[in-house]
C-alpha cells in the first residue's frame, strides 16, 4: 500500500529515472569499451586514402601516407598506432585507461555520450548524498555519517574529473582536433608542414555537425 501511495504521488518516478540513467551509463561503457574504435585494416587502405584526400584538401601535398612500422599498414591521415591495442586507429584521439580501449573515429561520439550520461549520474548522486548530510560538530555524528561523507567526497572528485574531460573533449571537437594532435602538434608531419595551424578546422558549427551527424 505504501508503494502504491508513492506511485500515486509520483515519488517513484525520480528513482526510476536515476536507475535507468545508471543502466544506460553501464551499457554505454561496455559498448565503448568493446567496440572497434576504427582499426585500420589492410583491405581498407586504398579506399580510405582516397576518402581522406577529398576530406582534407588543405593538407600539403608533400606529406605522404607512411607505412606503420609496427603493423605494416599504410596509415590514413590522422591515424596513429596504439602500442597497447597493437593496431593503427583512424582519427586517433587517445587510449583511455578508464574504458581499456582507444577512442577513435568509430567510438568517439559514443564516448562523448557516455561522459555526458556519467556526468548527469554523478551530479544527481552528489545531490542525493548532500541532501542526506546534516552536519554536526560531534564525534558521534561522524561515526554515523562517515560512509555517506566519504561517498560524497568521492562523487565530487569523479565529477570534477569527468567534467574537465568532457569540456576538453568538446573544445577539441569544436576545433576539429584530437587529443593526440593537440598534444603532439610539433611531431606530426601533416600539421608541422601545414601553413595553417589546424588544416582540418572548418568552423565550430560544421565541425560539430560532421562529428555528431
Q: Please give the tally of structural domains in the chain.
A: 2
More confidently predicted of 82 and 3? 82
pTM for the whole structure:
0.82
In-domain check, residue 206: no
Q: Which residues are catalytic?
A: 96
Phi then psi for residue 107, to 5 deg, are: -105, 5
Burial 99-113, CB ≥16 within 10 A → b, else e: bebbbbbbbbebbbb
| DSSP class of 43 | G
Q: Which domain, by its residues, includes 20?
A: 1-34+106-175
Q: Is 29 found in the same domain as 42? A: no
DSSP bridge partners of 94:
103
Residue with cell 585500420: 40
Over residues 44-61, the pLDDT tens digits come to 554 554 454 444 444 555
Q: How many residues does the chain have?
A: 213
Over residues 117-176, the pLDDT tens digits come to 999 999 999 888 887 666 555 556 667 777 878 888 999 999 999 999 999 999 999 999
Q: Is 73 found in the same domain as 47? A: yes
Q: Is 110 found in the same domain as 27? A: yes
Q: Is 45 found in the same domain as 91? A: yes
DSSP bridge partners of 95:
102
CA R_g for the chain: 23
Amino acid at each position: 500500500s505504501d508503494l502504491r501511495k508513492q506511485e500515486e504521488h509520483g515519488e517513484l518516478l525520480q528513482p526510476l529515472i536515476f536507475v535507468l540513467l545508471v543502466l544506460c551509463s553501464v551499457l554505454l561503457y561496455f559498448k565503448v569499451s568493446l567496440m572497434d574504435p576504427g582499426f585500420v585494416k589492410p583491405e581498407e587502405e586504398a579506399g580510405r586514402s582516397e576518402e581522406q584526400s577529398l576530406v582534407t584538401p588543405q593538407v600539403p601535398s608533400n606529406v605522404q601516407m607512411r607505412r606503420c612500422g609496427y603493423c605494416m599498414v599504410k596509415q590514413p591521415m590522422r591515424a596513429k598506432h596504439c602500442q597497447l591495442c597493437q593496431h593503427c586507429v583512424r582519427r586517433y584521439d587517445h587510449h583511455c585507461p578508464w574504458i581499456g580501449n582507444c577512442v577513435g573515429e568509430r567510438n568517439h561520439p559514443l564516448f562523448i555520450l557516455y561522459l555526458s550520461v556519467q556526468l548527469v549520474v554523478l551530479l544527481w548522486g552528489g545531490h542525493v548524498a548532500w541532501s542526506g548530510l546534516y552536519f554536526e560538530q560531534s564525534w558521534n555524528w561522524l561515526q554515523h555519517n562517515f560512509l555517506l561523507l566519504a561517498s560524497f567526497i568521492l562523487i565530487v572528485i569523479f565529477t570534477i574529473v569527468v567534467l574537465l574531460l568532457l569540456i576538453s573533449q568538446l573544445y577539441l571537437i569544436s576545433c576539429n582536433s584530437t587529443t593526440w594532435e593537440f598534444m603532439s602538434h610539433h611531431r606530426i608531419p601533416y600539421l608541422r608542414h601545414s601553413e595553417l595551424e589546424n588544416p582540418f578546422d572548418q568552423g565550430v558549427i560544421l565541425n560539430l555537425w560532421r562529428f555528431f551527424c
